[in-house]
A and B are shown apart, each in its own frame.
Chain A
Amino acid sequence: MLSLAHVHVYHGPIHALRGVDLSVEMGEIVTLIGANGAGKSTLLMSICGAPRAGRGRVLWDGEDITDLPSFEIIRRGIAQVPEGRRIFSRMSVLENLLVGATPLEDGQREEDLQRVFALFPTLKDRQHQRGGTLSGGEQQMLAIGRALMGRPRLLLLDEPSLGLAPRLVQRIFEIIEAINREQNVTVFLVEQNAYHALRLAHRGYVMANGRIVLAGESKALLANREVRAAYLEGGV
């Protein structure tokens, strides 16, 4: 469904991604874990063309989307929840959600809205509140709901657990699982919270210094001695 082949990304003189190969199949939850600065966010963003891959190819449904502008890529059914949520703080919750429907030209907005409200009942209660007045967890829900308004087939999530209380992290991860199972949305998840991410995902990739260093079934990665030593022990 989505595949990256030998993708290199440069931030000026910095070689951020050094030849990444990766694939996500339909219906999966795939996670990418790794330390700070390994290039996880860069990889996720380069799928949507910002920053663009300097070398290598990004394929989506067999189509080469490497050089397409971001809005064209998103119109093809990929949605992104950027790091740090980035909700529109002066606009109301409802307006935030409606901006999310941008990629749809016809748009069954009402239906999509009800679908998102069913998933996040708090958003329905707070639909007229300004986005900036929501709590961190609610803002994360809004960011996810906003991305779902575009009816994506693939959802890219960048650190949804960032800055949230453990109980809320648990809740967000349950919702991600529900989105994947009940709405048939494929999920590609970048996380620092390796334990939770691997428990949720079917498969995982481990990244270090701009390269994929390990890949496999989540269960296998959870049991892997190196992964445990680097990302799990003491961290849970």
Chain B
Amino acid sequence: MNGFPILSVMLLVPAVAAVVCLFLDAKSARWLALAATLVDLALGIVLWASFDIGGAQWQFVEHSDALFGSFSWALGIDGFALLLIMLSVFLMPICIGASWEAVQQRVPEYMAAFLLTEVLMIGTFAAQDLFLFYVFFEAGLIPMYLIIGIWGGVNRIYASYKFFLYTLLGSVLMLIAMLWMTQQAGTTYIPDLMNHDFPVHAQTWLWLAFFASFAVKMPMWPVHTWLPDAHVQAPTAGSVILAGVLLKLGGYGFLRFSLPMFPEASSQLIWLIFGLSAVAVIYTSLVALVQSDMKKLIAYSSVAHMAIVTIGLFAFNRQGIEGAMMIMLGHGLVSGALFLCVGVIYDRLHTREIDRYGGLAINMPRYAVFFLLFTMASIGLPGTSNFVGELLALMGTYQVSTWTALLCTTGIILGAAYMLYLYRRVVFGDLTKDDVKAMPDLSMREIALLAPIAAVVLWMGVYPESFLAPMRQDVAILLERIDRAQPKGDSMPTAGNPSAVPAAHHGAEGGAH
């Protein structure tokens, strides 16, 4: 792939398609959007296939300095970015497919907005220039604001404002911090900044400025309140992309900026992250338990899952960080799929009230199977994607703070409670309501949307190595960087007495590749 600017092409394809969409009628706009996202998926697969695991830290690097004067067009990915880009390009065709029939009004604009979102998401993960990152990161607000506001539910205008202003307020302070950082370090190039040692007294302020932005995006308690509103009002595909990818921007930000650039501040403020996350896990899980709106329930569960991501990231050890990344990927797939599941029955009955359903296992058996799989994945059942991530993240956290690990583990139990309770009320029970009886089972289109996600969820659960391998080296580099600020753990695990067995194990693992 030498010389072929694959990342720029991945940005260009949906960008051009978005503009062309505006000139087409509804039917051609749908097909064009699907084609463009599939091309990007194909390019993504090529990207993954040609990503040299264990090779250079930054691959597919593109650089054009003079283009924008004060910042440059610099793209490049490491293992973290690769996996998140894969998640984006994988979910995008599914989103288009999910809107195939549900969206009937102003289709060309809708497709253009989604394609634009895809451009901005890939750009955010691939940007290697600090301000280029900021441009992509912030610009994502515009299409999402339009998607929620135009094609959303009854209370869409309130939700769109809340989404926009909340996230904007979080981000602007980050811009000021970025300006200071680039002037201090004399570069806007992210890999250089990641190795720049900022003065420790300044790190706290910079860390807090970045935290303001990422905590809102993540979203962390108590600035999570925009999320349930946005999710409930957004159209199904909007929720999928919001939960699937946009929430990952916060975690990616912590991973890319907060940890490697401000390790001392991260270590000092670890109590803040752990405290807020522990509250979030328990509080939002309890809130999820009493929801009567399906989308709101899943939205609150997202907040709880993302809190486990943050504790994992700030555990300062390999298990924690790898686990956090695995949850981000797993949650992106599972919550996206759960929103699709809600969308399927919402399209039939046009209500998200849990009480209006019941007994779907009788007349929609295929739906019940898929929904069960994703419910179990969301709970973190072994064999599904979320199990791997949650186990690793909590193990990592345990080494730093036993209390946080203990409190956050209750989230798994509560998660099982609210998800099973949801599933029981929607799918099991008697089929009494006439309009629910009349609902047809999944169509081929809907199966085609859910089946790929189900396959990947199981793949991640059964053979997570495929997903751990690309980031292994990047985790090592990150750990080396933040090692000097390692917080003192309270569990004080002592290493066992390793015999010759692990060596053989590594050999076997190496042989598998």
Q: Do chains A and B interact in one complex? A: no
Chain A positions within 8 Å of B, measured between CB atoms, are none
Chain B positions within 8 Å of A, measured between CB atoms, are none
